[in-house]
A and B are shown apart, each in its own frame.
Chain A
Amino acid sequence: SQTIHQWPATLVQPVGSPLSLECTVEGTSNPNLYWYRQAAGRGLQLLFYSVGIGQISSEVPQNLSASRPQDRQFILSSKKLLLSDSGFYLCAWRGGGMLYGYTFGSGTRLTVV
């Protein structure tokens, strides 16, 4: 069966520090991968999506970047964190066809101090 792993679960980082969040999927190949952010009291915002290795699409201009170095690995990064980067980050995957639903990871709570 397919599983999605996301780590770390919680992270407290100072302003200006770098960030690396990792997401991996098991039990499938060539998944569509997504990074979402959920800010306090707000809905889910799509940040990045990827349909294949090295293929990244950005939804909103921001202080973050994403990379997909392997088929089932998706990384969210920042060179210098801002206070506004605080939030709950969720990774998700979906099979290649539109009939598939989305599966989400357990999330990373990022607090920038």
Chain B
Amino acid sequence: KQEVTQIPAALSVPEGENLVLNCSFTDSAIYNLQWFRQDPGKGLTSLLLIQSSQREQTSGRLNASLDKSSGRSTLYIAASQPGDSATYLCAGPFNDYKLSFGAGTTVTVRA
């Protein structure tokens, strides 16, 4: 069974500090990896999608890397803001239909 792990489970940083969120998976046969943001009581918002053939994706202050050989993905958020406070989830499809999720990292950015 595919396992997706996110460390740390929670993170609290002062405003302006860079954030590093880690995601690891046990099966290197991943099609792609997606990072989501979830605000309390809300649905999931897709942040970045990295195809298995790519090493990284960037969107504004967000950068995500993917290393299939080591089974790791990292989400970097530069110059964090209080509005970045949320739970961040990584997920990947390891067969045709099933998206396996990590448990998430809850981020608090202190003003």
Interface residues of A (CB under 8 A from B): 6, 32, 34, 43-44, 46, 49, 51, 57, 59, 88, 90, 92, 98-99, 101-107, 109
- In the complex, which range does the number of interface residues on chain B fall in? 20 to 34
Can you list 20 pairs linking A and B with CB atoms under 8 Å apart? A6-B43, A34-B97, A34-B99, A43-B101, A43-B103, A44-B89, A46-B99, A49-B97, A51-B97, A90-B44, A98-B31, A98-B32, A98-B96, A99-B51, A101-B34, A101-B49, A102-B91, A104-B36, A104-B45, A107-B41
Identify 15 new A-B residue pairs, CB closer than 8 A, beyond the known A46-B98, A92-B99, A102-B99.
Answer: A6-B43, A43-B101, A43-B104, A44-B91, A46-B99, A51-B97, A59-B98, A99-B51, A101-B46, A102-B34, A103-B46, A104-B36, A104-B45, A106-B42, A107-B41
Chain B interface mostly:
strand
In this complex, what residue of B is CB-closest to A108?
B43
B93 at the interface (CB under 8 A from A): yes
A23 vs chain B, min Cβ distance (A): 11
A112 vs chain B, min Cβ distance (A): 17
Chain B contacts of A44 at CB under 8 A? 89, 91, 101
In this complex, what residue of A is CB-closest to B97?
A49
In this complex, what residue of B is CB-closest to A49?
B97
